[in-house]
Amino acid sequence: MSLHNDYIKYIINQELKWMRSKAKGGNFPDKRKQILKKIIQKIKEAQTGSHSSVINGTGIVLHTGFGRAPMSKKIIKSVTAKLEQYSNIELDLSSGKRGQRQDHCRRNLSALCRSDDSMAVNNNAAAVFLCLNTFAEGKEVIISRGQEVEIGGSFRIPDVIRKSGCKMVEVGTTNRTRIEDYQKAISKNTALLLWVHTSNYIVKGFTQSVDLTDLVALGRKAKIPVLADLGSGALVDMDAIGLPQELPVSAVIKSGVDVVTFSGDKLLGGPQSGLIAGKKKHISTILNNPIYRTVRCDKWTIALLDETLRHYGNTKSNLALNLLKTSRMTLKSHAEKILKGVLKKKQSALGISIVETEVEAGSGSLPDAPLPSVALRFSSNKYTASKLSAAFRKLNYPIVGYCSGRAFFIDLKAILPGQHLILTDAINQI
């Protein structure tokens, strides 16, 4: 695909601007032929685009840098077939009248969460922000100091509370909070009790926290709604499918909370989205908040989420969950097949061996439960770990692994079906 002229001019001008700035500093970078060569290379790179497929050799299945949960080809093909044409994203086909985009997912999501109602927005940060603003704008939100979490990208719960127009009231200490702390903090201006699941870290030792059911009971007594931010959002029993236990959304709903928020692209294995489940009257109020319009999902997210939820009864169709639960024995078998096709002299030169590893699920999910895995370890006398890492990243199909000590690793936990032969070919190219 060719680039339009405006973009080509922009690339040339940006390169010339950079070279002029170097020249003014007395450090003119290149000769004329080299300048032209560099500009031509930049234009060629722009033609392919900077967004490309990569092979995830880090072992982290829910890697934020790679878009978190991968999705199966079956789901993507089904959605593409629907959306390559116009769709009824906001049309009720039975009545011919204006429809609601939430209706495509809400019944299925509510059933899985065992909630009265549910809805989706573009990510969990937006879900939390929207709920806070809806229930407590200009009023007080009570939260335990032990739950003022920060997730990746310096996203902090206290910042979200303030930006949503609410006043944060902290109770307890970092490691110990009692129900009495909440009781004493309630005032005429209290509009919400906020409970945040510490999904990306564990506090151990001299600790005490308030059980969610006790906080719900206090909320009912004081006639103050309770919002629970769950983060990862497991919809199935993790233990039943061979993964470390995680607090399921249905258990949080069962505790009696008014509203719960969680991510769609973590343990649920769907597209980037923030899911909100709870009591029908509260979901209706949230939908009527003008801010909802700014954070609503587009047709692609709705379609991908709908497809993911409709197939959720069979976890075999959920690629993210399948990768997470792949056994070490299976991964070792994959590693042996990959190496079987690698030239012997290449194996020797790169110092390749198969090693057992432990990896994180990623994105703050299952933080205290490393998952067993297997990796290809490269310990070469000819190439440093950093040079090998760079070489794999520069392939036509980039492979991203990690360096540890003096070795380079490609972990197989997050390698997708069909990528094993690509790995073999890639190693032979290095």
Co-location of 269 and 371 in the same domain: no
Co-location of 14 and 95 in the same domain: no
Q: For residue 30, which phi and psi values (nearest 5 degrees)?
A: -140, 165
Q: Which of 283, 317, 351 is the last residue of a domain?
A: 317
E runs forming strands in 148-189: 150-151, 155-156, 167-171
Co-location of 381 and 420 in the same domain: yes
What would the two tokens of residue 152 be?
């990746």
Mean pLDDT over the full length of the chain: 91
Pick the more confident residue, 239 or 143. 143
Q: Which of 317, 332, 361 is the last residue of a domain?
A: 317
Co-location of 156 and 300 in the same domain: yes
Co-location of 235 and 117 in the same domain: yes
Q: Which of 317, 334, 368 is the last residue of a domain?
A: 317
Which ranges in 176-211 belong to alpha helices (H)?
179-185
pLDDT band at 200 (very low <50, low <70, confident <90, very high): low
- CA-CA-CA-CA torsion sign (350, 352, 357, 360): positive
Co-location of 389 and 279 in the same domain: no
Co-location of 310 and 334 in the same domain: no
Co-location of 201 and 219 in the same domain: yes
- Give pLDDT tens digits for 354-391: 999 999 998 878 877 899 999 999 999 889 999 999 99
Can you name the residues that pair with 378 across neighbouring β-strands? 352, 408
Domain of 399, CATH number, reads: 3.90.1150.180
Domain that holds residue 63: 55-67+322-429
Long-range contacts, 187-190 (Cβ 8 Å, 24+): 187/140, 189/139, 189/140, 190/139, 190/140, 190/141, 190/142, 190/222, 190/224
Co-location of 343 and 296 in the same domain: no
Co-location of 35 and 134 in the same domain: no
Domain of 257, CATH number, reads: 3.40.640.10
Co-location of 277 and 368 in the same domain: no
What's the structural domain count of the chain?
Answer: 3
Co-location of 364 and 270 in the same domain: no
Res 31: pLDDT:
67
**CA pair distance 347, 21, nearest whole angstrom:** 46
pTM of the predicted protein model = 0.90
**Stretch 276-294: mean pLDDT, rounded?**
97
